[in-house]
Structure 1
């Protein structure tokens, strides 16, 4: 029994809690939870302006008497008072609502859904992305979510709402007796500070709350009014797509009918028996496609369901029952296999989502409490045991361990972590127990950003995919019109029998569906982008995947990309003193400088337990060095310009300076006005992976490997001599790097620029492909570049180039295969050699082969 009827409906005697607005209450039965309530109170009020279930509560309500025993506040039993409309949600002007759609077997399904939804009232636009199974609806006013979901289901798909608002959370609620309870919860929670919107559904047994205060506060407030709430966590399974299982069962049953009917026709079954079996097979397998076709036609969409249903019905009309049954059976089997295959490609995002655990152990005083990750706040301390996955981003405050960061960075070896180091959600704690202070909520973690970027990338259409879609939108109507012409025109002018030309036209209808063609590109792109993300490489979309496959020149920023970006002391050259004394004076001079080279020298001295000389009157000399008074003498540490300007002779170290600079190192001269004590050489060393990476790039056919640096010729020459770099540009300012890239492009090269994503932003934007490295913890790198190498090294770059080239190859193979199969099928129609079942195989069979070919991209190419 419903607690209330719609306010616009008439009274339903003895069953409804309340009738039309202003009507008297039902005389016999109320939806009250206690006998006392039934005896003493009206179960209905006639509130003005309040909203029904699913609507937002107002701050004040005029009420009569509660009919629910568990509710302390007074409220109306009617959950749907005046002004509310069942199944209607409120949307702001141009609000975007997202859904997940299950059951699409090719991009034409997405087009059908779009056309069907755009005809609904208050729906401004509808966009469906086949790759990520997402539906984005822009609506205004009181759009009908029930009607929207019903429309999608009528077209043959299942749909599930996605809530993206980081402040919006969904809770399950237990203990509600009727809609009045839902209203009571809304009225109570909307008054709580930090809560901006509440929507409670008695029917669904849940509530959606937009709030900024802690989850525990919400749970306590709900318990105060007699109910129990629990936050829905990420391990709650989404709506299951049962369509596949149902279709498989139908396919098996109808296949058995077809086989019995076919064999029976040869062993003496009466013709009508075989016909009944074939007709049953058509009904069993064809019901859903024909129903979907009906709604697709209403939406003015010409999809595969329309074409296939027309072929099956047409075959039955002309007496080809076996052909019609075979068509729907092969179509059903093909769709089932397509969905199973496509599921493999879509697992890339699902696997990413499942990387991080849904629960976390929180330290509260001396106790450990397990909570859903959604309930954990920034600043909480979580405990990760050996062998457990890390649930949230944070910094280690207690313990040491090795952490396997492969899910985020793609690194093959675990990374040692100590107190102060950052850890990321989804990575694995290998050995020691860790206590981590949470720095990011679940929706802000690096893993969540990766998932978001991968989904966005898979939703973007590559140039090839966009071209194929345009081609298909022209091809299908032309072939459809041609099929109708083939059915009607020849027999009208006496060329052959109607049944003969109808059969050929039906075969042409089936061939008109470009399923294999339109699926050829997106499935390859989804597979490649998902594989890349699994290996610690974020490719921002199909466009960039295609560009990466065409790159023939790679330009590298030197500092921090090819090199460590951390200078190290490489040589000590004392003159007329000991190395210990030289380092002692250098330590004293550089200890008050913030320059990276000064810090390097100080660290070097500390590591060797050198005692710092006592000094005073420290002063930085901008662009030159530093000076201080040591043992009543003024000492200097700086470059050769500093000593030349003070007319201090460098003749004793000239040969050392020339030798060091030729090698590409930076020199720091130590001395006073009387003499030079010595020279310290500082070098930015190559990364351990640089040489191997550049060699691999050369092996995969990269024609130009270029280095861009602000350093002098000596440094560039040294690094190029140690690596496969065949060209370099030196002494560059940031704007000069842009000029260098444009020069490479003018020479006919497709250029990728590899940098850190911050200092090299202009160069990354200028290159045909911008590649940022070290994406973990660097939001700017993720935002600015077209491709992000999540690990702070280059060893994934050759893999990315090879994967992109492999993807391009597979896309071309798929397109040519799809086109060739179509043209062969078209050519076989007019001689009468193409049967209906062959036409179905040319479409669904080709689509399956195309998907299986693209699945090869889920396997990483050898580095």
Structure 2
């Protein structure tokens, strides 16, 4: 930081000396030597760091790569030295001042993208209020909190650790975790996350993780990783830069020699035009075409609850040709829900709801909770309940016996219910019958229903010409029914967990850039093998750890947003590359016709670099 401050002060001192020399020159002062000294000092003070960086980095990179690896700073340094040698002191100073000034602005612009992401670090919790067994409260470092500790979270405070609410009601701002701006109401038993902000009420909580395993700590880890992973285009540009600069240096003496031979220039004019060529052909704008834009896109998505582990994965997203989806918890809610309740005409529906809900409330099979939650307004009746394994649940109410069981438990069923059961099964629904005194009087249909974002996500991908595949362990009938309703192009059913990798590999073997979206431990191998693995943020830790992209809120709409941002990123990067090379070509051509000079070349060249960076920073916006 101290060195940076010295460099900045030195730059402004150089700028002052240049302006003083320019003022003396324009006023007609007869001090040519003094004015040249001012320009020379301005060049050295404002650009010594550029020259040092140009030569030292060239030496370092050449040693590391074991081949000549020059950089843009070296080109500008040679151009400035050349201008001084031919007596163009003012233009040498102008060149360095504009280049160094533009360099500072570039660093600020690139840093803005990084700051947008890394400001999350400022939100990392430091302290926690631990409640000891004797009731006393002590403020401790969050790193000392252990699983099972009881903590107090005051109103307006930051939640220090992941855990569950023990007592109290809270309105919590979770935007740091999932990008959701609306606070969420939470009460006893609900999970809370480190880094989120409590509202106006205090509560107590139990820690369920240590500080290094919280969701927020994983976000910070992903953020740090993302800034060090460039996109494919940015990586290629970085590799091409020394080759490009070497080519310009080779062409430099050829330009000087051809000037006299082809254009009849004098030796001094040839040298001058060669220096302008060095400036014009410098790939500053090209070098800045991808990195600021990529960091801006990653920053934008991070603020909205989508974390990329690197720019390359964001860039790849736009090239996807196939996306495989796990069904449960990804396309669906992951929990069965009652979709149909059909009752015989001679039965009172409301009374039967009370009976069914009261029976299921006393059982623990997977469908019971779905039924009770669906009929949450039902009256609770005093019913004696017995569970018979392999048969179903029996409830006794007065003289009447009720049986809730799957269709195979019944030998005689009215045609009305048999036909409806078959139709509902075709839709992928699980059907249970309700019998009163051995007569089937109602049926319940349940299904793991698609989440609200599944349909629009599949519609979007189909519209983009991307193949959609659903992988599920469900039966053929159930899986195909759900896939058909969502509009998925291909459904692969009865898949064992270990076979999901094979599905992804088969897609990739067809030369398709493939994505995999999942949330479970059994999805992890497929997420690793896919070109882009996308994990649902509320899924398992394993899936999140191995994926390339994490949707912090289980919202597939964010996947669509990410794909759109990826397409926009690639478009902007290629706009930048095309524009930067067009400016270079134009300046080089104008130089050969004698229509530009060092000043014009520097302004046009560095101006194009700033425009390229600003174009990339547009991706910081939503």
In the other structure, the counterpart of 2:218 is: 449
**Contact 1:446–1:776, Cα closer than 8 Å, also in 2:** no
1:807 to 2:569 alignment: yes
Q: Distance in 2 between matches of 1:703 and 1:686?
A: 20
In the other structure, the counterpart of 1:833 is: 595
Partner-residue secondary structure (3-state), 1:388? coil
Q: Equivalences for 1:362-381 in 2 at 5 Å?
A: 362-364=130-132, 365-381=134-150
Relative to structure 1, the CA distance from residue 497 to residue 333 in structure 2 (aligned partners, 3 Å threshold; closer, same or farther) is same
Q: Distance in 2 between matches of 1:307 and 1:746?
A: 45
Q: Distance in 2 between matches of 1:538 and 1:859?
A: 16
Q: Equivalences for 1:359-438 in 2 at 5 Å?
A: 359-364=127-132, 365-438=134-207
**Contact 1:475–1:512, Cα closer than 8 Å, also in 2:** no
In the other structure, the counterpart of 2:65 is: none
Within the candidate set 8, 27, 33, 1:267 is matched to 27
1:665 to 2:429 alignment: yes
1:676 to 2:426 alignment: no
Shift of 1:378: 4.0
1:474 to 2:235 alignment: no
In the other structure, the counterpart of 1:780 is: 542
In the other structure, the counterpart of 1:339 is: 107
Partner-residue secondary structure (3-state), 2:431? strand
Partner-residue secondary structure (3-state), 1:608? coil
In the other structure, the counterpart of 2:332 is: 563
**Contact 2:12–2:46, Cα closer than 8 Å, also in 1:** no
Q: Distance in 2 between matches of 1:554 and 1:494?
A: 59
In the other structure, the counterpart of 2:50 is: 289
**Contact 2:330–2:518, Cα closer than 8 Å, also in 1:** yes
Structure 2 length as normaliser, TM-score?
0.85
**Contact 2:71–2:241, Cα closer than 8 Å, also in 1:** no
Q: Deviations over 1:96-154 (max 9, x none)?
A: xxxxxxxxxxxxxxxxxxxxxxxxxxxxxxxxxxxxxxxxxxxxxxxxxxxxxxxxxxx
Shift of 1:333: 1.0
Q: Equivalences for 1:462-861 in 2 at 5 Å?
A: 462-487=231-256, 496-511=265-280, 513-551=282-320, 554-574=323-343, 580=351, 584=355, 591=362, 594=365, 596-601=366-371, 608-611=378-381, 613-616=383-386, 618-621=387-390, 625-626=391-392, 637-643=404-410, 647-648=411-412, 651=415, 653-671=417-435, 675-691=439-455, 701=464, 709=472, 710=474, 713=477, 717=481, 725=487, 727=489, 729=491, 731-734=493-496, 752-761=515-524, 764=527, 768-773=531-536, 775-776=537-538, 778-860=540-622
Q: Deviations over 1:679-700 (max 9, x none)?
A: 222233343444555566677x
Q: Distance in 2 between matches of 1:310 and 1:610?
A: 88
Shift of 1:312: 1.7
Relative to structure 1, the CA distance from residue 726 to residue 605 in structure 2 (aligned partners, 3 Å threshold; closer, same or farther) is closer
Q: Distance in 2 between matches of 1:386 and 1:582?
A: 42
Q: Distance in 2 between matches of 1:752 and 1:612?
A: 52
**Contact 1:361–1:383, Cα closer than 8 Å, also in 2:** yes
Shift of 1:521: 1.3
In the other structure, the counterpart of 1:97 is: none
**Contact 2:118–2:223, Cα closer than 8 Å, also in 1:** no
Shift of 1:353: 0.7
Q: Distance in 1 between matches of 2:600 and 2:319?
A: 38
Q: Distance in 2 between matches of 1:422 and 1:353?
A: 22
Partner-residue secondary structure (3-state), 1:565? strand
Relative to structure 1, the CA distance from residue 583 to residue 452 in structure 2 (aligned partners, 3 Å threshold; closer, same or farther) is same
Relative to structure 1, the CA distance from residue 548 to residue 479 in structure 2 (aligned partners, 3 Å threshold; closer, same or farther) is same
Relative to structure 1, the CA distance from residue 518 to residue 408 in structure 2 (aligned partners, 3 Å threshold; closer, same or farther) is same
Higher relative contact order, chain-length normalized (CA < 8 Å, sep 6+): 2
Unaligned runs of 5+ in 1: 1-240
Q: Deviations over 1:741-782 (max 9, x none)?
A: 678778987554433243444554565533222x14731231
**Contact 1:247–1:336, Cα closer than 8 Å, also in 2:** no
1:350 to 2:118 alignment: yes
Q: Distance in 1 between matches of 2:343 and 2:28?
A: 109
Q: Distance in 1 between matches of 2:90 and 2:80?
A: 10
Q: Distance in 1 between matches of 2:290 and 2:37?
A: 41
In the other structure, the counterpart of 2:66 is: none
Partner-residue secondary structure (3-state), 1:268? coil
Q: Distance in 1 between matches of 2:52 and 2:490?
A: 65
Shift of 1:783: 2.2
**Contact 1:383–1:436, Cα closer than 8 Å, also in 2:** yes
Relative to structure 1, the CA distance from residue 593 to residue 377 in structure 2 (aligned partners, 3 Å threshold; closer, same or farther) is closer
Within the candidate set 3, 9, 12, 1:252 is matched to 12
Q: Distance in 2 between matches of 1:730 and 1:488?
A: 68
**Contact 1:589–1:636, Cα closer than 8 Å, also in 2:** no
**Contact 1:380–1:437, Cα closer than 8 Å, also in 2:** yes
Partner-residue secondary structure (3-state), 2:299? helix
**Contact 1:462–1:542, Cα closer than 8 Å, also in 2:** yes
**Contact 1:330–1:837, Cα closer than 8 Å, also in 2:** no
Relative to structure 1, the CA distance from residue 413 to residue 552 in structure 2 (aligned partners, 3 Å threshold; closer, same or farther) is farther
Relative to structure 1, the CA distance from residue 676 to residue 376 in structure 2 (aligned partners, 3 Å threshold; closer, same or farther) is closer
Partner-residue secondary structure (3-state), 1:354? helix
Q: Distance in 2 between matches of 1:767 and 1:357?
A: 35
Relative to structure 1, the CA distance from residue 355 to residue 512 in structure 2 (aligned partners, 3 Å threshold; closer, same or farther) is same
**Contact 2:535–2:551, Cα closer than 8 Å, also in 1:** yes
Q: Distance in 1 between matches of 2:361 and 2:135?
A: 46
More displaced 10-residue stretch of structure 1: 435-444 or 395-404: 435-444
Shift of 1:805: 1.1
Q: Deviations over 1:601-649 (max 9, x none)?
A: 4556786244364355x4422xxx5366969999864333343xxx445
Q: Deviations over 1:365-402 (max 9, x none)?
A: 44444344344444443322222222322222221112
Partner-residue secondary structure (3-state), 2:338? strand
CA-atom RMSD, angstroms? 3.7
More displaced 10-residue stretch of structure 1: 506-515 or 851-860: 506-515
Relative to structure 1, the CA distance from residue 693 to residue 829 in structure 2 (aligned partners, 3 Å threshold; closer, same or farther) is same
Q: Deviations over 1:711-758 (max 9, x none)?
A: 56578557855x6x3645264424776777678778987554433243
Q: Distance in 2 between matches of 1:777 and 1:714?
A: 23
Partner-residue secondary structure (3-state), 1:389? coil
Shift of 1:347: 0.8
Relative to structure 1, the CA distance from residue 593 to residue 257 in structure 2 (aligned partners, 3 Å threshold; closer, same or farther) is closer
More displaced 10-residue stretch of structure 1: 392-401 or 752-761: 752-761
Partner-residue secondary structure (3-state), 1:416? strand
